[in-house]
């Protein structure tokens, strides 16, 4: 005979409390003494009790699921949408976002559902999914400054938190980095190394973070008597970093220091410099941005500006949890500070 599944009554007997107390703990009701909560949780572990999620949802009106949405402003074909998804999964940045989000959600028995919103139809699907109770809220990573999804979510009154300040002001919480300070750190380090003919590979200049990193870099160099900084625009990919570095070397062959707006482009720049017989860092110092896994697999290992993506993503998930529970009503922003990580490339 199969053993009957443990019930709330079994947990209550094990913990020595009432069934109502167990129910309040299971459903996340706050007015339960922490010591009692701990007692009930240990009893749940010993008995192997598993809450009925459907019944729990009726009580709490929560699914314990959040949508992790990667969104853009394009009107993409099916082929372009597939290419977009492929690029997302290939980028170490997104893996770090997922790691930070899951790290916060898992201990709270919450789960992310990945959604892409690269077309008007896909954006409407995200809004409908949330309105219909498919998820309790949305964590949004936008890839374009003109992304209309944040405004759609705000207009619908749905709980949502953004990774990075939105291109257009909307009443939603967000986490971001002080990107301008990151550009400043990179410039100061290259100057301290004695670099005098400094160039930069910027990220896509339509993206606010790229603009801020470039502005901080340029402003710092200007304050140190460098009024002109050669700039080549990249696309946050290895190939675009290679193309931008090739262009810079053709126009400015005496370059002795380069700041790239992310580590993938720095990896591409290092490859081009090596192909042109330039030693890194002896002939050309290279500073990246992000401190991703690429920074330590590149040879030489990259000096880079660290963006604490995992911490930022975990904070994004925490803010959303607060909004869902009603612990936070007004939107807020949390801005993290970058940090220079010195390795062999500069």
- pTM, two decimals, is 0.78
Q: What percent of the chain has pLDDT above 90?
A: 58
pLDDT above 90 for 334: yes
pLDDT of residue 63: 59
* C-alpha span between 113 and 175 (Å, rounded): 20
Cα first-last separation, the chain: 68
pLDDT of residue 308: 95
- What's the length of the chain? 346
Residue found by looking up tokens 């009503």 in the block: 329
* pLDDT tens per residue across span 185-212: 999 999 999 999 999 999 999 888 999 9
pLDDT of residue 120: 87
pLDDT above 90 for 326: no
> Which of 3-12, 183-192, 287-296, 333-342 is predicted with the least confidence, judged by mean pLDDT?
3-12
* pLDDT tens per residue across span 96-140: 999 999 999 888 888 888 998 888 888 999 999 888 888 889 999
* C-alpha span between 79 and 339 (Å, rounded): 38
pLDDT above 60 for 53: no
pLDDT of residue 329: 82
- Across the chain, mean pLDDT equals 88
* pLDDT tens per residue across span 82-97: 666 666 667 788 889 9
Q: Which of 77, 205, 212 is nearest to 144 (CA)?
A: 205
Cα angle vertex 62, ends 60, 66, to 5°?
A: 160
């Amino acid at each position: 005979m199969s053993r009957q599944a443990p019930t709330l009554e079994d947990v209550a007997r094990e913990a020595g409390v009432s069934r109502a107390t167990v129910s309040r703990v299971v459903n996340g009701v706050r007015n339960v003494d922490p010591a009692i909560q701990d007692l009930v949780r240990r009893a749940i572990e010993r008995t192997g009790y598993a809450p009925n999620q459907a019944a729990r949802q009726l009580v709490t009106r929560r699914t314990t699921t959040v949508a992790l949405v990667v969104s853009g402003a394009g009107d993409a074909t099916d082929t372009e949408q597939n290419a977009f998804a492929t690029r997302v999964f290939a980028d170490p940045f997104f893996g770090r976002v997922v790691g930070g989000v899951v790290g916060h959600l898992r201990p709270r028995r919450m789960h992310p559902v990945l959604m892409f919103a690269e077309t008007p139809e896909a954006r409407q699907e995200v809004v409908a999914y949330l309105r219909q109770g498919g998820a309790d809220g949305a964590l949004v990573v936008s890839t374009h400054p003109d992304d209309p999804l944040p405004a759609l979510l705000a207009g619908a009154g749905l709980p949502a938190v953004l990774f990075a300040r939105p291109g257009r002001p909307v009443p939603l919480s967000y986490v971001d980095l002080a990107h301008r300070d990151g550009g400043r750190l990179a410039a100061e380090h290259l100057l301290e190394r004695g670099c005098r003919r400094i160039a930069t590979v910027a990220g896509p200049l339509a993206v606010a973070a790229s603009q801020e990193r470039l502005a901080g870099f340029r402003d710092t160099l200007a304050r140190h008597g460098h009024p002109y900084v050669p700039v080549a625009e990249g696309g946050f990919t290895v190939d675009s970093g290679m193309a931008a570095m090739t262009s810079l070397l053709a126009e400015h062959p005496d370059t002795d220091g380069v700041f790239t707006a992310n580590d993938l482009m720095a990896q591409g720049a290092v490859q081009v410099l090596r192909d042109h017989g330039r030693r890194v860092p002896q002939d050309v110092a290279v500073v990246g941005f992000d401190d991703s896994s690429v920074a330590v697999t590149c040879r030489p290992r990259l000096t880079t500006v660290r963006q604490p993506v995992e911490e930022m993503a975990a904070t994004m998930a925490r803010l959303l949890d607060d909004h869902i529970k009603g612990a936070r009503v007004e939107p807020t922003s949390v801005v993290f500070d970058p940090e220079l990580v010195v390795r062999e490339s500069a």
